[in-house]
């Protein structure tokens, strides 16, 4: 029997190559990004009538997401690929799941204990796979295998496992080992390597001017290791890699995707583009032209085209006109079908995989039901929380000779200044956040600031808390300069009591020379409540566990 995708019309086959973005919220009025997330009626039509192949999710709680994914699968005649960027765990995107510190925290642990770091990476991968399945995700868009050797990188930064190809390769492979017992797809990104750029590809096209020899020795090393470790998919980078192609971004370059990734690296899994709405592509190409060029280059899945239906039509027209061979579409569909069969949960046993003489029983399988018991027994379980806690503790840097306060005596003469990049979009603060609640319990007044706030130093001892990491769409360089101004101003007035940095070691590296050795200084890779609590334990109560210290912070 022919593979069942050949029973689909050409338009239905092409639609299987499209992955659109959807909100995890259940109601249209909750949609946060209407530019990219269609209302329910449109989304349903795309799935039910157009037959798109998958969705990438963002927003909502884990419980909402579980209901949303089941709803979408019920609409689909062919089971969907349901993806999310959960590089730091389901809790990073969907409240209720476990939120791990960013992958670069593992490099800090690796420097002191390689075996422990590899164990934590594997546990992290296992927990993310388990929690993803519990909420209906079957495609984890991780691990990031970019080698972040550029401290000014605004888009990769701490999302990488490290700044050397050897460390990134080992940690990414360990992460993949953790995921592989579970029917969930993984994704190595962003090929051929987005780590050595200072330009945000969400906004414009970065240039990677390294030689082919340098690419082979640095950028490609983790991709080779991930492919050898069995990664299911590879995501392209919107970069101009001049050693390979001086005209086309990697996402649209046959040299990059077919010659290098397919042939030279021997990868036969899914090749998925990064989001086609990103500025690096959308500024130079129309939605239909970027999709056509990506397929010609060798992409199997088009992620977030701005206009899915015109893209499908243009691809069909290109096949009928002879610009794209029909066999090219069939090759992608074969890979998509293999991937979709792989992620059925529970996986089909060998004896049940081929009922009635066909290997496509998965196409008729209903999604598993969602219930409260499944969520409460699979999300934020003690082992996952313990892994996140250990990783936060072991990667933290502490320079504290003694706690600031060890009693509940209130001291209203002090304040805490909290600096973030954007107060309106800050998900990790609130009245209950330890960064706010812990100092408040000791009488500290609260001063919130972001990039729009001037440096205003009240004449009182100040605990300065800085939440800064690389963020797509908004570079952190301006915020780092503002943080430096805060440190200098408070230091000059002798009001700087302590500094806590949450997020990026590159920020610590920039600020540490400005903070005198007698002032307590703490750095945590995490920004979530758990990270805040662990960091502030060092200032306000005796630490319940020993923490690694470093006089020069190891940078």
pLDDT of residue 359: 52
For residues 68 and 191, membership in a common domain is answered with yes
For residues 401 and 487, membership in a common domain is answered with yes
Domain-located, residue 18: no
Distance CA 288, CA 404 (A): 60
Domain-located, residue 407: yes
- 202 carries an active-site annotation: yes
pLDDT of residue 367: 61
For residues 267 and 302, membership in a common domain is answered with yes
Q: For the chain, how many structural domains are there in total?
A: 2
Domain-located, residue 11: no
pLDDT of residue 452: 75
For residues 307 and 448, membership in a common domain is answered with no
For residues 206 and 315, membership in a common domain is answered with yes
For residues 317 and 422, membership in a common domain is answered with no
Domain-located, residue 49: yes
User: Of 194, 202, 210, 378, which residue is the catalytic one?
Assistant: 202
Burial (CB count <10 Å: 0-12, 13-18, 19+), residue 486: buried
User: Of 163, 232, 274, 537, which residue is the catalytic one?
Assistant: 274
Phi, psi of 185 (to 5 degrees): -80, 150
Report, in this order, helix, strand and coil percent for the chain, each rounded to 5. Answer: 45, 15, 45
pTM listed for this prediction: 0.90
- 194 carries an active-site annotation: no
pLDDT per residue as tens digits for the range 301-318: 999 998 899 999 999 999
Which CATH number does the domain housing residue 520 bear? Answer: 3.40.50.10870
For residues 411 and 519, membership in a common domain is answered with yes
Which parts of the chain register pLDDT below 70? 1-6, 345-372, 402-411, 457, 471-477, 541-555
Strand 18-23 and strand 240-241: the pairing is: unpaired
For residues 286 and 173, membership in a common domain is answered with yes
Domain-located, residue 550: no
Q: Which own/partner contact pairs does 173-176 have at CB distance under 8 Å and 24+ positions apart?
A: 173/225, 173/226, 173/228, 173/229, 174/117, 174/118, 174/119, 174/121, 174/122, 174/125, 175/103, 175/121, 175/122, 175/124, 175/125, 175/142, 175/143, 176/125, 176/143, 176/226, 176/229, 176/230, 176/231
Distance CA 355, CA 317 (A): 36
For residues 371 and 406, membership in a common domain is answered with no
Which CATH number does the domain housing residue 106 bear? Answer: 3.20.20.300
pLDDT of residue 358: 40
Q: How many CA atoms lie within 13 A of 518 on its CB side?
A: 4
pLDDT of residue 195: 86
For residues 336 and 441, membership in a common domain is answered with no
pLDDT of residue 547: 46
pLDDT of residue 2: 40
pLDDT per residue as tens digits for the range 487-498: 999 988 999 999
Write the CB contacts of 342 (distance below 8 Å, at least 6 apart in sequence). Answer: 183, 185, 232
Domain-located, residue 548: no
Domain-located, residue 201: yes
Q: How far apart are the first and last CA of the chain?
A: 60
The two tokens of residue 463 are 């605990």
For residues 162 and 110, membership in a common domain is answered with yes
Task: Name the residue with tokens 């074969």.
Answer: 334
Write out the residue range of the structural domain in which residue 449 sits.
396-540
Domain-located, residue 126: yes
For residues 96 and 213, membership in a common domain is answered with yes
């Amino acid at each position: 029997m022919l593979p069942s995708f050949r029973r689909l019309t050409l338009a239905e086959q092409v639609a299987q190559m499209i992955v659109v973005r959807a909100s995890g919220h259940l109601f249209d009025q909750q949609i946060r990004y209407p530019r990219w997330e269609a209302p329910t009626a449109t989304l349903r039509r795309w799935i039910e009538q157009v037959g798109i192949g998958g969705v990438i999710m963002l927003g909502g709680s884990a419980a909402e997401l579980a209901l949303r994914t089941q709803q979408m699968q019920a609409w689909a005649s062919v089971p969907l690929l349901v993806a999310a960027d959960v590089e730091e765990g389901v809790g990073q995107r969907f409240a209720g799941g476990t939120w791990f510190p960013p992958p670069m925290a593992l490099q800090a642990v690796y420097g002191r204990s390689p075996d422990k770091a590899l164990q934590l990476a594997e546990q992290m991968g296992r927990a993310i796979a388990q929690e993803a399945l519990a909420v209906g995700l079957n495609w984890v868009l991780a691990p990031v295998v970019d080698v972040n050797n550029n401290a000014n990188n605004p888009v990769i930064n701490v999302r990488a496992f490290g700044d050397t190809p050897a460390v990134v390769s080992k940690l990414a492979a360990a992460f993949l080992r953790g995921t592989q017992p579970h029917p969930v797809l993984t994704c190595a990104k962003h090929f051929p390597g987005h780590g050595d750029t200072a330009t945000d590809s969400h906004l414009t096209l970065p240039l990677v001017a390294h030689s082919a020899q340098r690419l082979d020795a640095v950028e490609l090393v983790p991709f080779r290791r991930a492919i050898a470790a069995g990664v299911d998919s590879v995501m392209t980078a919107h970069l101009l890699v001049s050693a390979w192609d001086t005209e086309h971004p990697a996402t649209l370059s046959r040299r990059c995707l077919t010659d290098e990734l397919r042939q030279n690296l021997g990868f036969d899994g899914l090749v998925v583009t990064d989001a086609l709405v990103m500025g690096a592509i959308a500024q130079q190409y129309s939605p239909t032209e970027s999709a056509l060029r990506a397929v010609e280059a060798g992409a199997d899945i088009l992620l977030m085209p701005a206009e899915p239906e015109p893209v499908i039509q243009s691809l069909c027209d290109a096949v009928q006109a002879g610009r794209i061979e029909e066999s090219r579409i069939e090759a992608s569909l074969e890979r998509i079908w293999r991937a979709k069969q792989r992620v059925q949960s529970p996986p089909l046993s060998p004896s049940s995989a081929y009922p009635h003489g066909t290997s496509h029983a998965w196409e008729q399988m209903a999604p598993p039901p969602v219930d409260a018991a499944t969520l409460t027994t699979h999300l934020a379980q003690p082992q996952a929380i313990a892994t996140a806690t250990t990783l936060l503790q072991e990667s933290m840097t502490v320079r504290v000779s003694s706690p600031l306060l060890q009693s509940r005596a209130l001291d209203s003469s002090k304040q805490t200044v909290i600096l973030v990049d954007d107060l309106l979009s800050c998900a990790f603060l609130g009245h209950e956040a330890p960064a706010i609640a812990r100092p408040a319990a000791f009488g500290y007044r609260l001063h919130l600031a972001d990039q729009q706030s001037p440096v205003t130093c009240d004449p009182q001892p100040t605990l300065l808390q800085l939440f800064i990491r690389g963020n797509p769409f908004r570079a952190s360089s301006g915020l780092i300069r503002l943080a430096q101004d805060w440190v200098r101003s408070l230091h000059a007035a002798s009001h700087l009591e302590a500094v806590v940095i949450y997020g990026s070691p590159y920020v610590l590296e920039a600020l540490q020379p400005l903070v005198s050795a007698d002032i307590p200084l703490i750095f945590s890779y995490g920004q979530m409540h758990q990270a805040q609590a662990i960091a502030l334990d060092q200032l306000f109560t005796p630490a319940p566990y020993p923490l690694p210290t470093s006089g020069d912070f190891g940078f």
